[in-house]
């Protein structure tokens, strides 16, 4: 999520883009061997990465509280 970069689509949407994984095998997978560069990724609304990070932190805090309650 820290690697998300702004992505402008029609000057209308506030999006961020980030790579999903290694794209090396995908020219063959998509049958485009002539492609010199292939990048796979996701587009999300601008605030989504921060929300996911906060959600993960909240989940970790809840797990710590639960561990303390059991101990």
Name the percent of the chain lying above pLDDT 70.
93
Confidence (pTM): 0.47
Q: Report helix, strand or coil for 33.
A: coil
Mean pLDDT taken over the chain: 81
At 14-45, the pLDDT tens digits run 888 888 878 888 889 889 989 888 888 888 88
Q: What pLDDT is recorded for position 2?
A: 65
Of 2-6, 30-34, 51-55, the one with minimum mean pLDDT is: 2-6
| Phi, psi torsion values for 54, nearest 5 degrees | -65, -40
């Amino acid at each position: 999520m820290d690697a998300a970069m702004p992505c402008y689509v029609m000057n209308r949407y506030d999006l961020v883009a980030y790579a999903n994984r290694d794209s090396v095998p995908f020219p063959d997978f998509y049958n485009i061997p002539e492609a010199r560069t292939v990048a796979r990724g996701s587009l999300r609304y601008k605030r989504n990465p921060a929300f996911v990070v906060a959600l993960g932190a909240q989940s970790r805090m809840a797990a710590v509280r639960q561990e303390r309650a059991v101990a």
